């Protein structure tokens, strides 16, 4: 049997392999809500423009509502023979309301339909991801405030570099997440134009009102070029690109959690809620959730790569290749959404070992820069000379196997006679972080102010109900 939606000139049905490669219902069924919303807007516009009768439009809307409730209640039978969501909905509509269903497709095509549905879907996805990212920022900022004074080692090259505060470290991710949200919000602005009414590719001869359908669906305006409207998927690419960058941030904090919780490092502990045991080694507490967040990044970046490759070299306008835009993208969006929630959960769950952090912060002569800065400030030494003097003092301390603040003053004075006992004030890790008061620096008072400002901003955003 040929397809009743488009099979007028077909005598035979598809080969089984043709059906298998052509079918998209398993994926695009997830667009049902958007598909029905767009069809309702289209039908109302057709009636308002006198293209179909008001009574047909009413029946179409009623039928579409019934279909929506059937799908939501899991009572809808999706048919693979009908290929995709658009034809499944239309076919069911004709069962429900008869011939009027056939008028719904006036002045549109599946090409503008799928572009519209997927724009709406990606828009909803952006809003959900944005809300999840705001939740992550909230968790990070709360823990940052709690740990504004908690001293930990700061690293470069994964070598102990200078003492920082744990709160400051967490706030770094709040900033990254803010930029991630900015990228999603930029993508949302550009995608929020309606392809509906571009029809197959050239527009239509019917007197449609694309501004009306755009408005009804919450788009800012109709897309200005019908060829562009049905043929680009840059809105998916852009959102996947934003997702990829955000995933890289999530992967980095995930990796830090893996490092911090390793017994070799022991800076942080995760509870039973976010770890798992080993089936053979009873002592193990594995940070599986963090490892999986790290791994999900592959899926997200993979979905961006896959779609870039699908789209490159496609001539205008719609090509069936583009049907492959949805599966990977949906998988990528699902992966990042879960990863955000998992990281937020771990950020709330983790408990830093403050004593171990403080001890580790002082290891490896982490306050050497503070000594050099003291020589510059107090003895007016040029920084390069101070660096050299400090290096020699560190060498002596290291030979004796003691920390800088435990090195006898006379040993320091052997290198630089003008050093006084006042230097001891700057050599503790607490003094070190406290002194880093430059804007954006790690001093506890900076961290407290930044964390509070973020919490206030997030609360305001929550109240206004919108981040944009
Ligand atoms: N299932 C198709 C897709 O996702 C819908 C558009 C089909 N258009 C067409 N002319 N065959 O891309």
User: Closest Cα to atom 12, ligand 1: which residue?
Assistant: 323
Residue 196 CA to its chain's centroid (Å): 28
How many whole angstroms separate alpha carbon 464 and alpha carbon 367? 45
Tokens 């309702």 correspond to: 40
Supply the angle between the helices 54-72 and 32-48 in degrees, to the nearest 10.
170
User: Is the pLDDT confidence value at 358 over 90?
Assistant: yes
Longest dimension (CA), the chain: 101
74: left (phi over 0), alpha (psi -120 to 50) or beta: left
Q: What is the mean pLDDT of residues 31-43?
A: 98
pLDDT in tens, 235-257: 999 999 999 999 999 999 999 99
Q: Which atom of ligand 1 is nearest to 85's Cα? A: 1
Q: Which of 55, 262, 271, 278 is catalytic?
A: 278
pLDDT band at 419 (very low <50, low <70, confident <90, very high): very high
State the pLDDT at residue 10: 84
How many whole angstroms separate alpha carbon 253 and alpha carbon 107? 50
| Contact status, residue 93 vs residue 64, Cβ threshold 8 Å | yes
Mean pLDDT, the chain, rounded, equals: 95
Q: What is the mean pLDDT of residues 26-34?
A: 98
pLDDT band at 4 (very low <50, low <70, confident <90, very high): low
Mutate to test the pocket of ligand 1, among 323, 327, 328 (most ligand atoms within 8 A of CB): 323
Q: Compute the distance from residue 2 Cα to the ligand 1 centre, in Å.
A: 17
How many whole angstroms separate alpha carbon 55 and alpha carbon 444? 68
pLDDT band at 1 (very low <50, low <70, confident <90, very high): low
Q: Which atom of ligand 1 is nearest to 83's Cα? A: 1
Q: What is the mean pLDDT of residues 341-368?
A: 95
φ and ψ at residue 403, rounded to 5 degrees: -75, 165
Residue 435: closest CA among 367, 383, 359, 354: 367
Mutate to test the pocket of ligand 1, among 21, 320, 321 (most ligand atoms within 8 A of CB): 320
| Contact status, residue 159 vs residue 363, Cβ threshold 8 Å | no
User: Is the pLDDT confidence value at 3 over 80?
Assistant: no
What are 86's two structure tokens?
A: 């658009």
Beta carbons within 10 angstroms of residue 440's beta carbon? 10
pLDDT band at 8 (very low <50, low <70, confident <90, very high): confident
pLDDT in tens, 314-352: 999 999 999 999 999 999 999 999 999 999 999 999 999
| Contact status, residue 143 vs residue 347, Cβ threshold 8 Å | yes
pLDDT in tens, 431-461: 999 999 999 999 999 999 999 999 999 999 9
């Amino acid at each position: 049997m040929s397809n009743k939606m488009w099979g007028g000139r077909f005598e035979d049905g598809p080969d089984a392999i043709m059906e298998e490669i052509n079918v998209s219902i398993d994926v695009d069924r997830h667009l049902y809500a958007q598909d029905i919303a767009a069809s309702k807007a289209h039908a109302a516009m057709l009636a308002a423009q006198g293209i179909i009768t008001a009574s047909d439009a009413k029946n179409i809307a009623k039928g579409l509502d019934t279909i929506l409730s059937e799908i939501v209640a899991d009572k809808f039978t999706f048919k693979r023979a009908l290929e995709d969501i658009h034809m499944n909905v239309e076919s069911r509509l004709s069962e429900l309301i008869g011939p009027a269903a056939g008028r719904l497709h006036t002045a549109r095509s599946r090409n503008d339909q799928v572009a519209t549905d997927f724009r709406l879907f990606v828009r909803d996805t952006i809003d959900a991801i944005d809300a999840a990212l705001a939740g992550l920022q909230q968790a990070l900022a709360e823990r940052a405030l709690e740990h504004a004074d908690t001293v930990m080692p700061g690293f470069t090259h994964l070598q102990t570099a200078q003492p920082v505060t744990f709160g400051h470290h967490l706030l770094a991710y709040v900033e990254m997440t803010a930029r991630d949200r900015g990228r999603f919000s930029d993508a949302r602005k550009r995608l929020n134009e309606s392809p509906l009414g571009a029809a197959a590719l050239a527009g239509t001869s019917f007197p449609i009102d694309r501004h009306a359908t755009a408005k009804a669906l919450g788009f800012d305006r109709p897309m200005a070029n019908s060829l562009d409207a049905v043929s680009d998927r840059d809105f998916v690419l852009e959102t996947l690109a934003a997702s990829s960058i955000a995933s890289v941030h999530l992967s980095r904090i995930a990796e830090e959690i893996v490092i911090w919780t390793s017994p070799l490092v022991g800076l942080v502990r995760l509870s039973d809620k976010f770890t798992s045991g080993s089936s053979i080694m009873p002592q193990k507490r594995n940070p599986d959730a963090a490892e999986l967040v790290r791994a999900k990044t592959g899926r997200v970046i993979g979905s961006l790569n896959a779609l870039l490759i699908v789209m490159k070299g496609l001539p205008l306008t719609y090509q069936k290749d583009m049907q492959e835009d949805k599966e990977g993208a949906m998988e990528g969006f699902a992966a990042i959404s879960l990863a955000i929630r998992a990281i937020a959960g771990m950020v709330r769950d983790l408990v830093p070992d403050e004593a171990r952090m403080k001890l580790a912060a002082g290891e490896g002569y982490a306050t050497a820069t503070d000594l050099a800065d003291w020589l510059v400030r107090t003895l007016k030494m040029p920084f390069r000379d101070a660096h050299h003097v400090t290096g020699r003092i560190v060498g002596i301390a290291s030979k004796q196997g003691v920390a800088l603040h435990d090195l006898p003053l006379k040993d320091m004075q052997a290198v630089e006679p003008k050093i006084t006992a006042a230097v001891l004030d700057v050599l503790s890790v607490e003094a070190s972080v406290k002194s880093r008061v430059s804007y954006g620096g790690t001093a506890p008072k900076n961290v407290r102010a930044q964390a509070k400002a973020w919490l206030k901003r997030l609360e305001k955003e929550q109240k206004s109900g919108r981040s944009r």
